[in-house]
Amino acid sequence: MTDIFLSKINSTKIIPSIRQGDRRILSRCISWIENEHADYLELLQSLPADYSTRKVIGITGAPGAGKSTLIDVLIGHLISEHKKIAVICVDPSSPFHFGALLGDRIRMNKWFNHEDVFIRSLASRGNLGGLNPKVIEITDLLKAADFDYIIIETVGVGQNEVEVAAIADTTIVVLTPGSGDDIQTMKAGLMEIADIFVVNKSDHEQTDNLVKNLQGILIQDQQPIPVLKTIATQGEGVRELWNQIKIDLSDETKNAHKPELLAAEAYQLIQYQRMKDLSKEDLSKDIRELIQHEQFNLYQLISKYT
């Protein structure tokens, strides 16, 4: 290990190394963030002021919709344009989705050792049930590196997809025909967060129905959100998708919402910092002891924590 790792995190040396593309130091810093190394907040506080100009692309959708396969093709496309890409795959920590990480590895396998591609998987849920604050922090660290684009893959379950929209400059919602992704079942939140809809697996016969229904709803709601068809496994439609992403990323009118999005991030990070020493297990342990005394009062208990 280099000496900058020896004792304290030395941000003045680390940040320039990350910026120059040192992946080993970047990986190390990500681990520090994940494990909450004593100096990790100091590291984040020393991120350069321009770090937030890097573009983040969020890709969300149901498990199996083809997000990883799409990203795999997108990476190929970007590499041919000599771009550098970081990918964060956010896996729900639920054991029901335990296979996701392995699946993503298989899907993006050929890029794992490519020098211009950096892929990292993270658990999705923090202890507050929102998008893991680590995803926000690590994304910000990645913005300080030399990547042209940062792609975040999240599984669209619960509130996840809504939260990823707060950190992504462009959010792509991936739907698939014949999977119940029709308008009736589609959560209203998806309509609000999507900058681009992708109907993947458009080799499926129900494709045009889904596209038509979706476009109908978008017209009704006067939402001019583009709907694109892709067949990720064949790379079909991905060039068009990338062109649409570029159009969306360069849309200056979106900057108007930036302060609100940053406020939502700040809120979540502050909430996390304030609550992180508090666990429901500790609370129930305290209560278990106190409740044996007749004078137990819940409000006296919580006053000790607030």
Which is closer to ligand GDP, CB of 125 or CB of 254?
Answer: 125
Which is closer to ligand GDP, CB of 137 or CB of 161?
Answer: 161
**Which residues contact Mg ion by CB under 5 A?**
67-68, 104
Contact partner at residue 189 from Mg ion, ligand GDP, none, CB < 5 to 8 Å by partner kind: none
Q: Which stretch binds ligand GDP (CB under 6 A): 14-22, 26-34, 50-58, 66-74?
A: 66-74
Binding flags for ligand GDP, 166-205, as an x/- string (CB under 6 A): ----------------------------------xx-x--
Site for ligand GDP in 75-134 (CB under 6 A): 103, 107
Contact partner at residue 28 from Mg ion, ligand GDP, none, CB < 5 to 8 Å by partner kind: none
Do 102 and 111 contact (CB within 8 A), yes or no?
Answer: no
The CB-of-152 to ligand GDP minimum distance in angstroms stands at 12
* DSSP H or E run through 236: none
Closest CB to ligand GDP: residue number: 66
The CB-of-59 to ligand GDP minimum distance in angstroms stands at 8
Which is closer to ligand GDP, CB of 67 or CB of 143?
Answer: 67
DSSP string, 95-164: GGGTHHHHHHHHHTGGGTT-TTEEEEEEE-B-TTSSB-HHHHHHHHHHHTTT-SEEEEEEE--TTHHHHH
In angstroms, the CA 289 to CA 30 distance is: 39
Which is closer to ligand GDP, CB of 107 or CB of 143?
Answer: 107
Beta 196-199 vs 117-123: how paired, if at all? unpaired
Site for ligand GDP in 202-221 (CB under 6 A): 203
The CB-of-175 to ligand GDP minimum distance in angstroms stands at 11
Backbone angles phi, psi at 174, to 5 degrees: -100, 125
Contact partner at residue 201 from ligand GDP, Mg ion, none, CB < 5 to 8 Å by partner kind: ligand GDP
In angstroms, the CA 232 to CA 238 distance is: 7
Contact partner at residue 65 from ligand GDP, Mg ion, none, CB < 5 to 8 Å by partner kind: ligand GDP
Do 147 and 118 contact (CB within 8 A), yes or no?
Answer: yes
CB atoms within 10 A of CB 273: 11
In angstroms, the CA 178 to CA 199 distance is: 11
Q: How far is CA 177 from the centre of its chain?
A: 24
Using CB under 6 A as the binding rule, whether residue 233 contacts ligand GDP is answered as yes
The Cβ-side half-sphere exposure at 3, using a 13 Å CA radius, reads: 1
Question: Contact residues for ligand GDP (CB under 6 A)?
Answer: 61, 63-69, 103, 107, 200-201, 203, 231-233
